Amino acid sequence: MVAALIIPIVMARFKVSNVPTAVAEIVMGIILGKSVLNIVSPNAILNMMSTFGVIMLMFLSGMEINFDLFKRQPGKKRDSKSSVSLASQSFLVVIITAVILGSILHFIGLFSDVFLATILFSTVALGVVIATLKEKEILGRPAGQTILLTAVLGEVVPMLSLTIYASINGGNAGRLWLILLLFLAAIVLLRRFKQPYIWFNRISKSTTQLDIRLAFSLIFILVTIAETVGAENILGAFLAGMVMKLLEPTEATKDKLTSIGYGFLIPFFFIMTGVRLDLRTLVTHPQALVLIPVLVACFIIAKLPIMFIYKRRFSPRNSFAGSFLVVTTITLVLPSLTVARNLHAITSTQSDAFILAAVVVCLIAPVIFNSLYKLEKADLIKQRVVFVGTNTFSVPVAQQLSRNWYEVRMLTDSAENYKTYNSEVSALTYLPELTEEALQKGHFFDTDVMVLAFPSDKKNARLAVMAKKAGVSRVIAGQNAPGRNREKVSALADIGVEIYNTFNVQISVLRSLIETPSILEMLTDTDAGLYEAVVRNQRFIGRELHTLPFIDQITVSRIYRNHQAISPHGDTVLEEGDHMIYTGERAAAEEARRQLRRRN
């Protein structure tokens, strides 16, 4: 535990940021173990804590999977260059390459088990990949999503393959079908707790922590079932993480589970992995010394062909960098080797060689990625806004939107309005008819926000439905006489359309001027003002408010989460989609908004 405390402090002191903490913990274990100082030796308690650590690691890995990535967006066809398609093709290439490499090692006599070699060479450290993509701020961008999906497949597929491998080599091939009971149990638990979990959040207290109790119940139930049916306990833990993810826990729950895992249990696993390594014996085996560089090369070669798939959509430089990040592998390699040793399918020397090779690639892969990857146009794109309808209300709003934050386009079906405002708006398009075909052809649905600003409520409603059907994430529609047709307004709200009313806006501003004149001054102040930012940046999601790098330059007064107001504190954990209301000097406030709302 002292070692686990010292490692991040030393890394921060010497500014070692490119080395994954897991690798540093393994190195510390090597130093403490029989390879160097021989201070720590495996015993029953440490082995038990190490087992808890790997179970928690697999649980958190299951929680890392974003199932929304596999959903097809409405109105958008999945083509051969989509993130899902590219990732699927890439991992298929990895499997083929891994089989070839395993066969070569078998042929030359360095490693006999082709199936195990294929599993090891195809694994990807999902946690390391996510952390690196977040730091680079491209997790939500096309390149980041493609790399992330490849890493997800590199954790899920080898995990299932490992279970099959263990069943066959452990003499349980006839009971392999029983593993289906494990997946059935996971589905039952998900359906059983989906609704009660919402209720749990309302009745949970600091002394009960029902969300955490539920998480550990899922872990122990599915791990017990896994071992009972002959599967590996890590598969049960991984499925428990996936179930927990599908229950949609809050960022605060995720933060608590991550704290328990990476703050307490998981370091036992990584440090004890290093403790068990016997480098003194390893250096006395010439074959093992030859095996280490060969394995490092195999880990790299197995993933490099991915760049030819990535090049279909991304630049050659970034394709190479992305394929090298996927080379990162440590998370699943270690439990796979543990399983193989328990089955006597691999020698201790071979296992140590694989671990050292995995440590080496974990050291070099993130460094090479960070050095080579350059942000592309798709990574730097501003938030896109399309105004449909030009008038004295919409044109000034479009003009005042900061060009640093927004890419603004305007559209009108009035030739007279086009002549009037064409000289005042930089990107104004005239379309005689606003049909779905014409809007699709002009790529006007390819936007983040669409504002419908015609005087006609009926026209705005028709276009709003059309835009939501086409997959526009935010649609803002004017309804200047909502009282006349409340059912239509309610129907628009039900499909996610945001409604505004110019008359109500004017009344609200006048009331604010009378009741709280200082608020209006803040809104119109050119040096300091009241700002709102929707939290989209993956770097800040899941972090406590006081840890934001710019928090000392702004004052956060309110956070709106799911349309409910939250009084913020320093330890408030930010969630994606939070609306943060804050004040500050204009330059600092604008920079804070730029960072918070950046989609990455």
The domain boundary residue, chosen from 350, 379, 408:
379
Please report, as a single letter, which amino acid is at residue 27: V
Pick from 155-164, 193-202, 264-273, 576-585: least confident:
193-202
Over residues 364-405, the pLDDT tens digits come to: 888 899 888 887 665 555 678 999 998 888 888 887 775 556
Which CATH number does the domain housing residue 558 bear? 3.30.70.1450
Which residues are paired to 477 by β-bridges?
Answer: 452, 499
Count up the domains in the chain and report the number. 3
- Secondary structure E strands in 126-168: none
Domain check: are 389 and 455 in the same one?
yes
Share of the chain above pLDDT 90, in %: 27
Residue 189 belongs to some domain of the structure: yes
pLDDT band at 464 (very low <50, low <70, confident <90, very high): very high
| CA–CA dist 303, 92 (Å, integer) | 11
Distance CA 309, CA 301 (A): 15
Q: Are residues 92 and 214 in the same domain?
A: yes
In a domain, 73, yes or no: no
- The predicted pLDDT at position 17 comes to 74
**Is 510 domain-assigned?**
no
CA distance 148 to 129: 7
Q: Are both 335 and 423 inside the same structural domain?
A: no
**CATH number of the domain encompassing residue 427:** 3.40.50.720
Decide if 542 is inside a domain.
Answer: yes
**Domain assignment present for 181:** yes
Instruction: Find, among 428, 425, 436, 430, the residue nearest to 472 by Cα.
Output: 436
pLDDT of residue 33: 92
Judge whether 509 lies within some domain.
no
Distance between CA 519 and CA 522 in Å, rounded? 5
pLDDT category of residue 202 using cuts at 50, 70 and 90: low
Q: Give the burial string for 139-159 (b: 16+ CB within 10 Å, else e).
A: bbbbbbbbbbbbbbbbbbbbb
User: Residue 405's pLDDT is what?
Assistant: 63
> From the CB of residue 526, how many other CB atoms can be counted at a distance below 10 Å?
6
Per the model's pLDDT, the better-predicted residue between 221 and 516 turns out to be 221
pLDDT at 74 over 90: no
The pTM for the full model equals 0.69
Q: What is the pLDDT of residue 137?
A: 73
The pLDDT of residue 71 is: 63
* Shared domain check, 162 and 59: yes
- What DSSP character marks residue 261? I
Are 434 and 304 part of one and the same domain?
Answer: no
Q: How confident is the model at residue 488 (pLDDT cuts 50, 70, 90)?
A: confident
Asked if 325 and 132 count as a contact pair (C-beta separation under 8 A), the reply is yes
- Domain assignment present for 370: yes
Instruction: Quote the percentage of the chain above a pLDDT of 70.
Output: 89
Residue 77 lies in a domain: no
**Domain edge (last residue) among 438, 472, 501:** 501
pLDDT at res. 15: 82
Verify that 228 and 357 share a domain, yes or no. Answer: yes
In terms of domains, do 402 and 362 share one? no
- What local confidence, expressed as pLDDT, does residue 53 receive? 92
Q: Are residues 401 and 355 located together in one domain of the fold?
A: no
Give the span between the Cα atoms of 218 and 186, in whole angstroms: 9
Distance of CA 201 to the CA centre of its chain: 23
Calculate mean pLDDT across residues 426-442: 88
pLDDT digit string (tens) for 275-329? Answer: 988 888 888 888 778 889 999 999 999 999 999 999 998 889 999 999 999 998 8
CATH number at residue 336: 1.20.1530.20
Residues 272 and 304 in one domain: yes
Lowest mean pLDDT, pick from 115-119, 262-266, 291-295, 562-566: 562-566
Residues 534 and 448 in one domain: no
Which range has the top average pLDDT, 100-114, 331-345, 422-436? Answer: 100-114
- Considering the chain, what is the average pLDDT of its residues? 84
Q: Which residues pair with 155 in a beta bridge?
A: none
Pick from 331, 350, 379: which residue ends a domain?
A: 379
Residue 345 and residue 462 share a domain: no
User: Which backbone phi and psi does 495 adopt, to 5 degrees?
Assistant: -95, 10
548 and 491 fall within a common domain: no
Among the residue ranges 71-80, 175-184, 357-366, 574-583, the one predicted with the least confidence is 71-80
Asked whether the predicted pLDDT for residue 217 surpasses 60, the reply is yes
Q: 191 or 513: whose pLDDT is higher?
A: 191
Enter the DSSP assignment of 447. Answer: S
Q: Which range of residues forms the domain containing residue 366?
A: 2-63+82-379
